[in-house]
């Protein structure tokens, strides 16, 4: 057999394979809506209601700072093939997502297109600034607090909104999505009873946080965040502000500091040793640790850490 005959056989075989794949895509795959989300929390909620009628993938990892995600070429590929993009909005992703959306060349998910879903429209938003906002304030939350998914009521509202949207895009399965939402709603209500009971003894507890990720969480569970290690959201700690926080914590006998996994622990640890407070790495997102694989486990994880710290510092 000559070399050229062999390679032409190979080419024929390859061509046949390509034709077969093009002509007969796997039936189940073909029907699934391809959902891409900016963050893991939106992916977790979409998965709850989308079940096996969707594929879903998040762009940012759960342990990454969602304000600052380094864009990769693979993100463009994900977005190019998406039927639906779900984002947190309120400018959380403003530093990295808008250029990816415009560059991906997918008309279905452009701002205002049917495949573009800003989940903040469904949620109750806290910390909405009043009056004039200036850049000098250095605030990364000019439209209100974008960490709104850390309130189970907002999780429920977002899931309902996603179920509605999926039903509009795939009307044959709209009942399926509604049933998935009803089931999620029931499981969430049951989980809330447990969480509320676990946290009830610590109602009114004061703590200090690194970034304003916990406004919705604290309001839901009746905790008081009395200070932040960042002087303004998005502005790194300064020695003067850190000293103020230490004085405040000593005065009010505050013994718990919570930090997101993507911030440097140097300042939080120095505050901890100056005040005797416990420094906790609390997770703002699904996937922040390997075992936190869904929306329920996120609350389980954070509540467990908080309770241990509250008990230890009674
Ligand atoms: Zn933020």
How high is the pLDDT of residue 29? 47
Task: Please state the domain count of the chain.
Answer: 2
Containing domain of residue 60, as a range? Answer: 27-132+144-193
- The 3-state DSSP class for residue 256 equals strand
How high is the pLDDT of residue 24? 54
- The pLDDT tens digits for 224-275 are 999 999 999 999 999 999 999 999 999 999 999 999 999 999 999 999 999 9
Centre of ligand 1 from the C-alpha of residue 23, in Å: 47
Q: Output the pTM of the full model.
A: 0.89
Residue 106 shares a structural domain with residue 189? yes
Centre of ligand 1 from the C-alpha of residue 140, in Å: 6
In 3D, which of 209, 266, 276, 208 has the Cα closest to residue 239? Answer: 266
Centre of ligand 1 from the C-alpha of residue 42, in Å: 16
Residue 264 shares a structural domain with residue 179? no
Centre of ligand 1 from the C-alpha of residue 178, in Å: 31
- 1 DSSP assignment: -
Centre of ligand 1 from the C-alpha of residue 93, in Å: 10
- The pLDDT tens digits for 155-205 are 999 999 999 999 999 999 999 999 999 999 999 999 999 999 999 999 999
Q: What share of the chain is helix, strand, coil (3-state, %, to 5)?
A: 55, 10, 35
Centre of ligand 1 from the C-alpha of residue 91, in Å: 9
Query: Is residue 254, in this structure, part of any structural domain at all?
Result: yes
Rounded to the nearest integer, the mean pLDDT of the chain is: 92
Residue 185 shares a structural domain with residue 239? no
Strands (E), the chain: 33-37, 54-58, 84-87, 116-118, 206-209, 224-228, 256-259, 278-281
Q: Sorting pLDDT into bands at 50, 70 and 90, what band is 140?
A: confident
Residue 249 shares a structural domain with residue 220? yes
Centre of ligand 1 from the C-alpha of residue 137, in Å: 14
Centre of ligand 1 from the C-alpha of residue 142, in Å: 10
| Tokens 């806290």, residue located | 126
Query: Is residue 14, in this structure, part of any structural domain at all?
Result: no
What does the block give as tokens for 67? 């304000």
Query: Is residue 63, in this structure, part of any structural domain at all?
Result: yes
CB 92 within 8 A of CB 181: no
Residue 102 shares a structural domain with residue 232? no
CB 30 within 8 A of CB 53: no
Domain boundary among 173, 193, 213: 193
| CATH code of residue 102 | 3.40.50.1980
CB 236 within 8 A of CB 167: no
- The pLDDT tens digits for 15-32 are 555 555 555 555 444 589
């Amino acid at each position: 057999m000559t070399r050229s005959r062999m390679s032409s056989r190979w080419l024929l075989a390859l061509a046949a394979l390509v034709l077969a794949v093009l002509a007969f895509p796997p039936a189940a795959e073909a029907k699934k809506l391809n959902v891409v989300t900016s963050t893991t929390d939106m992916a977790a909620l979409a998965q709850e209601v989308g079940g096996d009628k969707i594929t879903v993938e998040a762009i940012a990892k759960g342990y990454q700072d969602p304000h600052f995600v380094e864009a990769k070429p693979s993100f463009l590929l994900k977005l190019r093939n998406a039927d639906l993009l779900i984002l947190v909005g309120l400018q959380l992703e403003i530093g990295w997502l808008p250029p990816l959306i415009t560059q991906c060349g997918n008309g279905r998910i452009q701002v205002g297109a049917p495949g573009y879903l800003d989940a903040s429209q469904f949620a109750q938003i806290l910390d909405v600034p009043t009056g004039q906002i200036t850049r000098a304030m250095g605030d990364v939350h000019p439209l209100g607090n974008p960490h709104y998914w850390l309130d189970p009521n907002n999780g429920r509202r977002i899931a309902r909104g996603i179920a509605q949207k999926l039903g509009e895009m795939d009307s044959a399965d709209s009942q399926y999505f509604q049933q998935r939402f009803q089931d999620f709603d029931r499981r969430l209500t049951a989980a809330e009873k447990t969480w509320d009971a676990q946290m009830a003894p610590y109602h009114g507890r004061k703590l200090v946080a690194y970034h304003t990720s916990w406004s919705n969480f604290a309001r839901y569970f009746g905790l008081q965040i009395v200070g932040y290690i960042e002087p303004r959201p998005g502005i790194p700690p300064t020695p003067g502000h850190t000293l103020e926080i230490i004085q405040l914590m000593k005065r009010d006998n505050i013994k718990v500091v919570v930090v997101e996994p993507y911030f440097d622990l140097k300042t939080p640890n120095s505050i901890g040793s100056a005040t005797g407070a416990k420094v906790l790495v609390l997770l703002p997102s699904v996937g922040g640790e390997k075992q936190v694989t869904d929306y329920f486990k996120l609350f389980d994880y954070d509540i467990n850490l908080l309770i241990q710290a509250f008990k230890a510092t009674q």
